[in-house]
Structure 1
Amino acid sequence: QAKYLGKNGGNLGGNGASMIRMGARWQRYHQTKLANAVFSVALDEKLRAAKSKVKSLCCAPGLASTNLQVTTNQSGGMRETWVMRWAQSGEDGTMPLLHCCLAAGLESGDFFEPNNRWTGPPKKFVLDKICLKEDSRKMLWEESEKACGEWKI
């Protein structure tokens, strides 16, 4: 919803920290990932319409052991540290991004994440239906332009 994309005086919707219970912090994290995916689809659509050779690719790191978990834990946010037993290294978490940057033969609109969703080498997946909704793409694009100015493609 557009109301969550603008300034709101620092009211971020609470401070619940539990990852398992999808506390407010993790809801916000999830929403940023969703917005990135929706934006990449919207950008792909605009680039194709303009017959651009530029590609819009999307990726996710899976579960990677990085400073995000350390700082979250220090502020009481990731008490469920047992889940990190299944995490891959931060370096391995970069592999989907590196794949998108360097691999040959990728198509605009492709999405990569670890092959078993949490860990493993990059694999192409189809984005979830929630990422493909036309009204979400339109709304996010419009709100992004309000925040950053019009994008000429």
Structure 2
Amino acid sequence: MQPFACGWPYHQTKLANAVFTVAMDDRLKASNSKVKVCCAAPGLAATNLQVTTSQDDGFHAQWIMRFGQSGEDGTMPLLRCCAAPGVESGDFYEPEGLGNIKGLPAKFTPEPICTNPHSSRILWEESEKACGAFKVE
């Protein structure tokens, strides 16, 4: 059961990002590529995304933002993936505190739904149908 129906599309796009990261990592490793692909989740960052979503009849629970972190702090998992030593291809980073919605970025093991080979194959095939074949080197 989903607590906020308007959050369902957002959840699905974040899931697709994670599944695609796993699929891309698998393909890059199979081709002995030196390219690194990682997944970063910002947690709950107080940005204009929630304001504009609410205005467009989306997420209306603005009260939850008092538990969020700044937009700048929300960038920390992404910065960790891009610039920190020891980050490897296929790593997942998100905030480590308060239910993974705020705090310092930490490496996490993706949930099984993100690493399911069947889901990965389907998403990859559908992405190529929509965008054309991807060349992985």
TM over 0.5: yes
Match of 2:108 among 111, 121, 125: 125
Bigger shift: residues 34-43 or 81-90: 81-90
**Corresponding residue for 2:90?**
109
Deviation at 1:121, TM superposition (A): 1.1
Deviation at 1:76, TM superposition (A): 3.8
- For the 8 Å contact 2:7–2:59, the answer to whether it is kept is no
Structure 2 gap ranges (5+): none
**Corresponding residue for 1:89?**
70
Cα distance in 2 between the residues matched to 1:22 and 1:78 = 8
- Residues 4-153 of structure 1 correspond to what in structure 2 (within 5 A)? 21-23=3-5, 25-116=6-97, 117-153=100-136
> Residue 112 of structure 1 aligns to a residue in which SS?
strand
Cα distance in 1 between the residues matched to 2:56 and 2:21 = 31
In angstroms, what is the RMSD of aligned CA positions?
A: 1.2
Cα distance in 2 between the residues matched to 1:145 and 1:45 = 16
Encode CA deviations 1:16-66: one digit per residue, 9 max, x unaligned. xxxx7321x311100000000000000000000001111110010000001
User: How many pairs does the alignment contain?
Assistant: 133
Cα distance in 2 between the residues matched to 1:54 and 1:142 = 21
Structure 1 gap ranges (5+): 1-19
Cα distance in 1 between the residues matched to 2:9 and 2:54 = 16
Relative to structure 1, the CA distance from residue 148 to residue 77 in structure 2 (aligned partners, 3 Å threshold; closer, same or farther) is closer
Q: TM-score, normalised by structure 1?
A: 0.83
Deviation at 1:73, TM superposition (A): 2.2
Cα distance in 2 between the residues matched to 1:75 and 1:49 = 43
> Residue 123 of structure 1 aligns to a residue in which SS?
strand
Deviation at 1:81, TM superposition (A): 1.7
